[in-house]
Amino acid sequence: MSTFQVTDTAVSELEQLAQDIASKTQEFLAVLRRNGCALPSHDPDTARNDSLPIEGTVLQRHLMELTTELQALVQGPRLHVHNQVLAHVNLVNLHAIYSFKLPSRVPMEGSISYAELAGKIQVGEDVVRRIARYSITKHIFREVDGGDRLTHSVTSKMLAESPMMMEWIGMVCEEMWPAATQAVSALAKWPRSQEPQHSGYALAHGLETHVFDMLVDQPERAERFANAMVYFNSIEDLASHHLCDAYDWKSVSQVVDIGGSAGSTAVALATRLPRVSIVIQDQAVLEDQARRSIPPALADRVSFMAHDFFQDQPVRDADVYHFRWIFHDWSDRYCLKLLRALVPALKPGARVVVSDFVVPESGATSWYTEGLVRGFDLAMMELFNAREREERDWQKLFVEADSRFRFAGVRTVPGADLAFISAIWTPPV
């Protein structure tokens, strides 16, 4: 029987990680206390810190990096891979939570018996108990009365109060998960393709077109996609308002928000920038939802226009043309079409702004942080046969689209996960 020998180097690395975690934890708690934030707890009566001060967000990310690295190191390679493989059951569990609307069926105060819950959702009591008890191991729900009744944890209570987050869970489980199971098959079937219909999503859902073309004829699914984006826009790190801090908007009077969906970015800009008028452009199926999202006080400056962004841009001479989370839905071939469709409308000095992820160069940041963005990259591959991009990829796109685009680089804003990539239209005089 062999004995695992822990080297001095491994012990030193573990000890250093443990010391760093202890130190950063104390710093994190100090920031929470100093800013009147609730201390982390699974108690459902604990206030949720849906947004933290920037110094708290930085420490939170640092602690996630450290604890993830500690867990990987302690597990060793076999358990590290083993636990990743078994993680797929998390989606089984979340799909059940979404499909049976479990968070909203558990009373906000008090509890519900498994028998009563099973009757409400027409599923066997044993099955409900098994689903709930796996959820409990992930701190979703709690049991009381000797394990016969289900009640809320802070996480399940959040889900009950967050319908847009539930929509996102539904989109992931019913749209993205099937696509993920077919992503590698799509790569094998269509090597080197840049066509959106050559994706895991297309194989899983029997599509011969892009996802968004399919949604035109399926408004319920389109609304769920839009609601998922509303949820993402509500996350402070991904909130639309960070765009306001990325540039000097004093000389800007008109913005076109291309692919603006339900209008969250347009509303954020118009609220912060009282002299700016904004046109939301997206598919006609989203018009009613977008119009409902525009507050009456902004209706004179925010409007909706149905537009296919691969066709020539109809709004001419705007100061800024903005794309939020659009380019990562498309391969380079189609992103070039997006940019070239703008050209007839551009005036000298017009700025094209892209709010999107910028993938860090390999090894330039922690593996935890790099892994988050590269995870999105694989998700875009499975859904759309598309990609996230490094800074040099963005520069190449603008240069190839038209030599009159002057790449203006990438800007970041403290507290924002999305970066802001831009180019300025500079035709020769």
One domain, residues 118 and 20: no
User: Which of 143, 160, 177 is the C-terminal boundary of a domain?
Assistant: 160
Long-range contacts (CB closer than 8 Å, 24 or more residues apart) made by 270-275: 270/298, 270/301, 270/302, 271/241, 271/298, 272/241, 272/244, 273/244, 273/249
Residue 295 burial class via C-beta count within 10 angstroms: exposed 0-12, middle 13-18, buried 19 and up: exposed
**Dist. CA 384–CA 381, nearest whole Å:** 6
pLDDT of 8: 54
Secondary structure (3-state) at 404: coil
Length of the chain: 429
**Statement: residue 116 has pLDDT above 50:** yes
176 within 8 A of 182, measured Cβ to Cβ: no
Secondary structure (3-state) at 10: helix
Give the model confidence (pLDDT) of 159-168 as tens digits: 999 999 999 9
139 tagged catalytic:
no
Mean pLDDT along residues 298-320: 97
240 within 8 A of 176, measured Cβ to Cβ: no
Q: 63 lies in which domain range?
A: 8-86
Mean pLDDT along residues 205-225: 83
* Pairwise pLDDT comparison (80 vs 211), residue with the higher score: 80
In a domain, 197, yes or no: no
One domain, residues 230 and 153: no
**Statement: residue 2 has pLDDT above 50:** no
pLDDT of 23: 97
* Pairwise pLDDT comparison (399 vs 291), residue with the higher score: 399
User: What is the pTM assigned to this prediction?
Assistant: 0.88
In a domain, 271, yes or no: yes
One domain, residues 362 and 303: yes
**Mean model confidence pLDDT for the chain:** 93
**Dist. CA 312–CA 309, nearest whole Å:** 7
Instruction: Retrieve residue 260's tokens.
Output: 């603006």
Query: Percent of the chain having pLDDT more than 70?
Result: 97
Helices then strands, each counted (H, E), the chain? 17, 10
pLDDT of 150: 97
User: Which of 160, 184, 207 is the C-terminal boundary of a domain?
Assistant: 160
- Total domain count for the chain? 3
CA neighbours closer than 13 Å in the CB half-sphere of residue 186: 29
In a domain, 2, yes or no: no
User: Band of the pLDDT at 9, cuts 50, 70, 90?
Assistant: low
In a domain, 208, yes or no: no
In a domain, 408, yes or no: yes
331 within 8 A of 386, measured Cβ to Cβ: yes
One domain, residues 138 and 47: no
User: Which of 53, 86, 119 is the C-terminal boundary of a domain?
Assistant: 86
Give the model confidence (pLDDT) of 30-65 as tens digits: 999 999 999 999 999 888 887 889 999 999 999 999
One domain, residues 281 and 421: yes
Question: How many other C-beta atoms are found inside a 10 Å radius of the C-beta of residue 409?
Answer: 12
In a domain, 177, yes or no: no
In a domain, 273, yes or no: yes
In a domain, 98, yes or no: yes
- In DSSP notation, 63-113 reads HHHHHHHHHHHHHHHHHHHHHHHHTTHHHHHHHHHHHTTHHHHS-SSS-EE
Rounded to 5°, angle at Cα 40 from 39 and 45: 85
**Dist. CA 321–CA 181, nearest whole Å:** 36
One domain, residues 49 and 101: no
One domain, residues 237 and 378: yes
**Dist. CA 39–CA 48, nearest whole Å:** 9
pLDDT of 180: 96
Residue 117 CA: distances (Å) to CA of 4, 128, 178, 223: 48, 8, 28, 28
CATH (domain of 151): 1.10.10.10
Residue 105 burial class via C-beta count within 10 angstroms: exposed 0-12, middle 13-18, buried 19 and up: middle
pLDDT of 74: 94
CA neighbours closer than 13 Å in the CB half-sphere of residue 167: 17
User: Band of the pLDDT at 245, cuts 50, 70, 90?
Assistant: very high
Q: Measured in whole angstroms, how far is the alpha carbon of residue 302 from the centre of its chain?
A: 25
Q: Of 277, 306, 272, nearest to 291 (Cα)?
A: 306
**Dist. CA 51–CA 237, nearest whole Å:** 8
Which of 211-215, 282-286, 297-301 has the least mean pLDDT? Answer: 211-215
pLDDT of 207: 87
* Pairwise pLDDT comparison (408 vs 234), residue with the higher score: 408
**Statement: residue 251 has pLDDT above 50:** yes
Encode 360-383 in three state secondary structure.
CCCCCCCHHHHHHHHHHHHHHHHH
pLDDT of 6: 46
One domain, residues 68 and 122: no
pLDDT of 4: 39
* Residue 424 β-bridge partners: 351, 406
Q: Are strands 112-113 and 254-258 parallel, antiparallel or unpaired?
A: unpaired
One domain, residues 127 and 241: no
Residue 144 burial class via C-beta count within 10 angstroms: exposed 0-12, middle 13-18, buried 19 and up: exposed
One domain, residues 73 and 104: no
pLDDT of 16: 93
One domain, residues 389 and 262: yes
User: Band of the pLDDT at 359, cuts 50, 70, 90?
Assistant: very high
One domain, residues 231 and 311: yes
The residue from 62, 152, 322, 328 that is catalytic is 328
